[in-house]
C-alpha cells in the first residue's frame, strides 16, 4: 500500500487529503475527491463492484482540478 496526497478544488476552495491505497490513477483520484466531498460512495474493498464516482458526476457538484502525488516516506 502507498500513501498519496490528493488535492482538489470544490467551489474554488482547495482541499488536500491523504489516501492510502494500492494504486492511484485518474478515475480513482476523482472518486476519492468525490467521497471526501460527500458526494461519492465509499467502497468496502478494492474488489467491491460498486461503480466508482466519475469526473462528470464530481464536476456536477463543483469539484475540479484534481491532482495527486505519491508521498515520500
Three-state SS string over the chain comes to: CEEEEEEEEECCEEEEEEEEECCCCHHHHHHHHHHHHCCCCCCCCCCCCCCCCCHHHHHHCCEEEEEEEECCC
User: For residue 42, what pLDDT is reported?
Assistant: 79
pLDDT digits (tens, 9 = 90+) for 2-51: 999 999 999 999 999 999 988 899 999 999 999 999 998 877 766 666 77
Q: What's the confidence (pLDDT) of residue 17? A: 97
Amino acid at each position: 500500500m502507498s500513501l498519496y496526497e490528493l488535492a482538489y478544488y470544490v467551489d474554488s476552495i482547495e482541499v488536500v487529503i491523504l489516501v492510502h491505497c494500492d494504486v492511484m490513477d485518474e478515475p480513482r483520484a476523482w472518486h476519492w475527491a468525490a467521497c471526501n466531498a460527500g458526494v461519492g460512495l465509499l467502497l468496502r474493498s478494492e474488489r467491491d463492484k460498486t461503480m466508482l464516482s466519475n469526473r462528470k458526476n464530481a464536476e456536477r457538484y463543483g469539484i475540479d482540478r484534481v491532482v495527486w502525488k505519491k508521498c515520500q516516506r
